[in-house]
Amino acid sequence: MGGVDKEFEAYFEALDRAGGKDHCYLCRRTAAEVKRFFGFEEDGVPRDAAEHGIEDVILDQADIMSYRGLRPICAVCQLNFDAIFMLEEHATLALVLKELENDRDRLWPDGSESPEP
């Protein structure tokens, strides 16, 4: 099986594990939203490419979302977590997750600043 076939297989297996949801498990960004975040159009061509002198840079699908793990994970979250792990803040990360789960009312007192579900 070739590399492309393997990527497709990994993709569909990941979607199965994620209940068919094709977005980042952590932030729920879709592949298109991740591309926009990094300044690329949906087809992988950079916005304002000529302006930035990066006409030849094309973002590949495999660069923006990983389907190889338990759940799909986007490149934005990977970079954010890379930074947390580099700072060795594993324990803090665990505490933040615990806060998110158990202290919602304290974190978002009147619900008005609660992010969209």
Determine the distance from the C-alpha atom of residue 106 to the mean position of all C-alpha atoms in its chain, rounded to a whole number: 27
Residue 27 sits in the site that holds Zn ion (CB under 5 A) = yes
- 25 versus 89: smaller Cβ distance to Zn ion: 25
Using CA atoms, how far apart are residues 101 and 106, in angstroms rounded to an integer?
11
- 7 versus 37: smaller Cβ distance to Zn ion: 37
Using CA atoms, how far apart are residues 103 and 59, in angstroms rounded to an integer?
39
Q: Per CB under 5 A, which region of 26-34, 41-49, 81-89, 109-117 contacts Zn ion? A: 26-34
| Phi-psi domain of 39 (left: phi exceeds 0; alpha: psi -120 through 50; beta: other) | left
Least distance (Å) between residue 1 CB and Zn ion? 28
Question: Tokens representing 14?
Answer: 């990941």
Q: Per CB under 5 A, which region of 22-30, 43-51, 64-72, 97-105 contacts Zn ion? A: 22-30
- 31 versus 74: smaller Cβ distance to Zn ion: 74
∠ CA 25-33-117, rounded to 5°: 55
Question: Within 54-93, which residues bind Zn ion (CB under 5 A)?
Answer: 74, 77
Closest CA to 25 of 70, 91, 80: 70
Least distance (Å) between residue 47 CB and Zn ion? 20
Residues lying near Zn ion in the complex (CB under 5 A):
24, 26-27, 74, 77
